[in-house]
Structure 1
Amino acid sequence: MALQGPEELGEPVEESEDLDDQDASSISPAEEITLPPGPGGDEETEEALLLPWDRFSAWLHCICVVGFDLELGQAVEVRQKYPPGTKTSICYLSFPDSNSGCLGDTQFCFRFRQGSNRKTSLGCFLETTDRDAPPCLKQGHYYGYVYFRQVRDKSLKRGYFQKSLVLISQLPYVTFFHSLLKIMAPEYFEKQEPCLEAACNDIDRWPTPHPGRILTLPIMGVVLKVRIPTSYDKPGTSQLVQSAQRLTPLIVVSSPPPPPPPPRCFYPVFFHLQMLWELVLLGEALVVMAPSPAESSDTVLALVSCIAPLRYCSDFRPYFTIHDSEFKEYTTRTQAPPSVILGVTNPFFAKTLQHWPHIIRIGDMKQAGEMAKQMKVKKLKNLKTLDSKPGVYTAYKPYLNKDEEIIKQLQKGVQQKRPSAAQNAILRRYFLELTQSFIIPLERYVASLMPLQKSISPWKSPPQLRPFIQQDFMKTLEKAGPQLTSRLKGDWIGLYRHFLKSPNFDGWFRNRRKEMTQKLEALHLEALCEEDLQKRIQKHTEVETVDLVLKLKDKLTQAEREKLPVHPGTLEKLRAHIEGVILTLPEDLQGILHKPTTL
């Protein structure tokens, strides 16, 4: 997985002053403009109005190169302007902070909070073109994608060459950005800054990442093909697109991103997969202690993805260090830990986060037979320091009974050395079916809150959704609960009660309520378009007719701004209605009402 974000771009320069205050030298950042408003808008015209580096900013906020200085420690050597106040975080998050070695090339990702963004031409453009984007793109975080190289080098004082190429973005597409780094990083380590400048120029010619489109992205002599997902994509469906050029790599972007292949060190917790699914579903505070940043970020991203198609609505940090700005917030013992999944590698966290309720410790596994020793959930007091064994440390008691079938299937795969891609497919299908079984009763009940279509009158405000009443929902579970689609037994009622108090339910229900409210607005608009307005206004005064025109114009603006799910031709019909009503008025009023509305 991976994510990223925009703002200003400067050419890579050597660090000489405080980078937060230093401007780029050769490539000037784009100045701010505001795109002219207009409902709907011609996307090609809007693309043409984008300034230099706006297309780059649609994909990447910046590119950094982080090296190791014997006196300063981690330091940014080359950069483009990064988010204010994040220099230290990016430096430390771009290097492993454990004793895992990490010789050779390592890829991982991190995530950090995003500050307030200024309105740029790009921001206005994205507002009008990316309304179909999935919710995961609308979160206030940046993602850092890291390609770290550590090799022996006797010519250096430290004895090792250590450097990271880092892409900072708002986009949560790990597979895509890791693939991009595999092309860029080896070239950079060989040819240094000039190849980064060439890559930036390539990216600035890319089309903006419109949801639902297949995009051709040339980069350093290679062509990538991607499809950006939309909020309407069904989970589990293939996004695969056949490439016309056999040698053109195809990157399949999905939303939410599929879990990466589970690292071998994750195998000891296979016995607790179902419990981990419950902990993620309920938004519990969870720590993953891993031997390396790659295993940390892979495991956290796999956990976040395991409740798809539900979106994980709490915070998660694939790789977290003691230098992070939220360190004090997450390690204080004066209040309960927040709803977040942390991935850490520094042994110091074994002590600092010992008060957290759920801790997963993953580590190298010497042989598959050791899995049998990891079956029991361990008590938190047994989590000491470096000598702690892999496993799950928690006092949590799962609501559902353990699914022995999936455990046997995965264990057999380990013993037979089944490819990780096959193991991953089994896991993904299992979690998808489990989550769908859980969410179907909720979807069914929420659909019943929708007013009947016959209750929609064109001359009254759209009816309101009925409220979600927990007791009423619980009553539906007896006959239409998850037992209809899942073989699992256990306290489903208790699990639902807990879930209804979680951030994930709040996020899901807010999104569903918004969708259903927009559907009611669309049905109301369609009912209005079917009315004979010419006949209706014959009974109206001139003032009432003008008021009707203004209300219809507001309806049209709302429908275009929110992209209401109306039938094709509805908005054209509404425009014709508005024009017809205006023509019944005196010429002086017609001239006033024909003037475009200032948004």
Structure 2
Amino acid sequence: MSAEIGVTLQEFQKQCRINKVKKWERFSEWIKCICVVTFDLNLGQVLEFVYPPEFVPKEQEASNICYMAFPDSNSGCMGDTKFHFSLRAVDKPSISKSISVAESTALNEYSPVRASNQSHFWGFVYFRQKKDSNIPRGYFQKSFIIMTSLPYYNLFFEVLTQLAPKYFSDGNIVIKNACQLINREWPSPQAGVLSLNLFEYNYQIFLPKMHSENIQNKKNNNLKLPNSNKEINLTSKIIYSVNEFDLFSSLEFILENLYTIWELVLTAEPIIVVGTSPADCSIMVQTLIALINPLQYYAEARPYFTIHDSEFKEFTKKYKNAYSPVILGVTNPFFVKLLTDWPHKILLADNQINLQQHIHSKYMNTNNSNTSGNNFDKTPLGNKTIPANFGAISSDALAPGLYTKYRPFLKKDKTLLNKVLHGIKTNRPAHVQTALIRRNLLELTQSFMIPLERYVASLMPLQKTINPFRLTPNAGVFNLDDFLSTLEHSGPHLTSTLKGDWRGLYRRFFYTPNFNGWYKSRRSELQLALQKIQMQTLSSTNFKVWAQDKQEVEIVDMMLKLKQKLNLYANKSSKLNYLNDINNTGTKVQLKLQINCLRESLPIDIKDVVNI
């Protein structure tokens, strides 16, 4: 009896927890929780406050968050610093208890920069450090952190900028009120223009679908200022892109290596970004990932990484004489000494803003009289071979830039580079420079991917081979040699002016996480398309004629199969649900009619028993 009561109590407690989580369902579609990390003289960095309390991180997650929340001691970040990090969730983590259908859709459909999933979280940090003689250590150090599954950098940095100073002024009540407001008023993440109210601000954001038009083409048509009575007194902030950074400002000092870096990211090569500020490192890592848009980056990336991270050994250990495919942003000089043979390193300046000014003056003094030739070849910056004693050299003594022994497969586009160089000399606005770079790299990535997309589409079985009475056929398997044989007549040279060893680049790409992730996604889409075609075939089949010479067991078996197909539509977690088109409703209705038709063909005694 006591065991029975115990089970009932556990079920009751479980239901209470579920109800508490459901209370924050809308909030958790956007944000998992808001944390405050402070420095304790005896314990170090500790989690001081978490809200909502239903989403307190597990012990390992909390430890990672605490270590990521503060810049390394050598960074010397005084005042306020904003940066972001990414961490892997622990199995069945507390902060991922209720990932909803809307959030899952947002992760899969509206996050084009990096493949997002429920196993990773993003932390957006507002760190404050200032002298305080009343504290034994002499410094006030505290971080305000937004934890989320959505990599919407520009949105959450805006929210962070609004909330963190309020918190430092008024305390925890700011966090509680903000969470309740978001839970009450924010809509679910979905494609299109969304209006998000938060205290005195109204954020107008646009969420594009993965394969929609470039967001730059939609600026004027989609985002409009609020005009409802509820929003009339709010300050409007229009965020044209939730996840695009200023590429030019980040890449200007390594512009000559742009196409080499594009290849490194495309082929998921291990890259370490070394700087003195987590803000510079995290932005650079995200910039690198964005270079291969619209292809998703499927390898690991840590915008800010410390020696205390639980994956430290995993990412810094060699496997079969090679490092893991990962991009790490670090500020601790220990990494430079530890990873002496790391194949690709990008060193940032102590102050990226000063570096931009330095580069600008260098370019301005480079042969101003001739703007039509290959001026870029005369610029002072270039990639640097990794010295044999790289780890022994202080990072302060090394010039900022790319250090690598990698030999690119493709030749760089000097036309683009000279256009950007001319823009530097003529003080062209940074956003225009960024648009030039983004457009060029977008076209390059598309040129690279179009032959792959065309080949995968050819693996789709012919529609006439789909039999309603057999299992759904599988798409063909990708064969590298077969694919390479198609390049002569339908290769990237048809759409790109870049010359080089395209075949070699494809061979290297084939063995990377980026290819595996892309191929797995495309193959899944093909299988879903085949499922839809077979369902439509089943919905139009004459089962009344088919059942005339069938045994009862065969008819019941077919009813079960139809019911199973029908459940694919009812299952909210099924990707088939996101492939809805105008025919889906008709297909579902027709499948139900087909089941009823088969039931009517059964004898009365069996018909009354079968409940499908």
> Which range, TM-score by smaller chain?
0.7 to 0.9
Moved more, 64-73 or 142-151: 64-73
Residue 511 of structure 1 corresponds to which residue in structure 2?
521
Say which SS state the counterpart of residue 514 (structure 1) adopts.
helix
Matches for 1:96-175 after TM superposition, within 5 Å? 96-97=71-72, 99-117=74-92, 122-123=98-99, 133=109, 136-153=115-132, 156=135, 158-175=137-154
Question: For 1:46-86, what per-residue CA distance to the aligned partner results, in whole angstroms no more than 9, with x for missing partners?
Answer: xxx97222333332222111233444443333234123313
Please tell me whether the aligned partners of residues 98 and 291 of structure 1 are also in contact (alpha carbons under 8 angstroms). no
Residue 7 of structure 1 corresponds to which residue in structure 2?
none
Please tell me whether the aligned partners of residues 217 and 224 of structure 1 are also in contact (alpha carbons under 8 angstroms). yes
State how far apart, in whole Å, the 1-side matches of 2:104 and 2:139 are.
49
1:280 to 2:235 alignment: no
The one of 308, 325, 344 equivalent to 1:358 is 344
Deviation at 1:339, TM superposition (A): 0.6
The structure-2 alpha-carbon separation of the partners of 1:426 and 1:31, relative to structure 1 and needing over 3 Å to count, comes to: farther
State how far apart, in whole Å, the 2-side matches of 1:314 and 1:242 are.
33
Deviation at 1:253, TM superposition (A): 5.2
Say which SS state the counterpart of residue 399 (structure 1) adopts.
coil
Deviation at 1:262, TM superposition (A): 4.4
**Counterpart residue type for residue 36 of structure 2:** V
TM (normalized to structure 1)?
A: 0.84
Deviation at 1:121, TM superposition (A): 7.6
Matches for 1:335-354 after TM superposition, within 5 Å? 335-354=321-340
Question: For 1:511-551, what per-residue CA distance to the aligned partner results, in whole angstroms no more than 9, with x for missing partners?
Answer: 11110111111111111212222222122222222121111
Deviation at 1:463, TM superposition (A): 2.8
The one of 486, 495, 517 equivalent to 2:505 is 495
The one of 236, 245, 264 equivalent to 2:226 is 245
Please tell me whether the aligned partners of residues 235 and 308 of structure 1 are also in contact (alpha carbons under 8 angstroms). no
TM (normalized to structure 2)?
A: 0.83
Deviation at 1:202, TM superposition (A): 1.4
Moved more, 208-217 or 105-114: 208-217
Deviation at 1:106, TM superposition (A): 2.0
1:303 to 2:288 alignment: yes
State how far apart, in whole Å, the 1-side matches of 2:407 and 2:340 are.
19
1:556 to 2:566 alignment: yes
State how far apart, in whole Å, the 2-side matches of 1:282 and 1:415 are.
33
**Counterpart residue type for residue 381 of structure 1:** A
Moved more, 327-336 or 136-145: 327-336
Residue 198 of structure 1 corresponds to which residue in structure 2?
177
Deviation at 1:412, TM superposition (A): 2.8
Residue 38 of structure 1 corresponds to which residue in structure 2?
none
Moved more, 353-362 or 231-240: 231-240
Deviation at 1:411, TM superposition (A): 2.5
Residue 54 of structure 1 corresponds to which residue in structure 2?
25
**Counterpart residue type for residue 85 of structure 1:** Q
Please tell me the root mean square deviation across aligned C-alpha atoms, in Å: 2.9
Residue 44 of structure 1 corresponds to which residue in structure 2?
none
State how far apart, in whole Å, the 1-side matches of 2:558 and 2:330 are.
60
Moved more, 552-561 or 515-524: 552-561
Deviation at 1:345, TM superposition (A): 1.2
The structure-2 alpha-carbon separation of the partners of 1:131 and 1:572, relative to structure 1 and needing over 3 Å to count, comes to: farther
The structure-2 alpha-carbon separation of the partners of 1:224 and 1:472, relative to structure 1 and needing over 3 Å to count, comes to: same
Deviation at 1:468, TM superposition (A): 1.5
Deviation at 1:191, TM superposition (A): 0.9
State how far apart, in whole Å, the 2-side matches of 1:85 and 1:30 are.
25
Moved more, 531-540 or 547-556: 531-540
Please tell me whether the aligned partners of residues 150 and 162 of structure 1 are also in contact (alpha carbons under 8 angstroms). yes
Matches for 1:86-105 after TM superposition, within 5 Å? 86-97=61-72, 99-105=74-80
Deviation at 1:376, TM superposition (A): 3.8
Say which SS state the counterpart of residue 65 (structure 1) adopts.
strand
1:233 to 2:212 alignment: yes
The structure-2 alpha-carbon separation of the partners of 1:30 and 1:225, relative to structure 1 and needing over 3 Å to count, comes to: farther
State how far apart, in whole Å, the 1-side matches of 2:359 and 2:488 are.
45
Deviation at 1:559, TM superposition (A): 4.1
State how far apart, in whole Å, the 1-side matches of 2:509 and 2:102 are.
34
Q: Mind listing any 5+ residue stretches in structure 2 that lack a counterpart?
A: 1-12, 228-234, 364-378
The one of 292, 304, 308 equivalent to 1:319 is 304
Say which SS state the counterpart of residue 503 (structure 2) adopts.
helix
Say which SS state the counterpart of residue 377 (structure 1) adopts.
coil
1:409 to 2:409 alignment: no
Say which SS state the counterpart of residue 460 (structure 1) adopts.
coil
Q: Mind listing any 5+ residue stretches in structure 1 that lack a counterpart?
A: 1-27, 35-48
Aligned length: 551
Please tell me whether the aligned partners of residues 288 and 359 of structure 1 are also in contact (alpha carbons under 8 angstroms). yes
Deviation at 1:207, TM superposition (A): 4.9
Residue 549 of structure 2 corresponds to which residue in structure 1?
539
**Counterpart residue type for residue 92 of structure 1:** Y
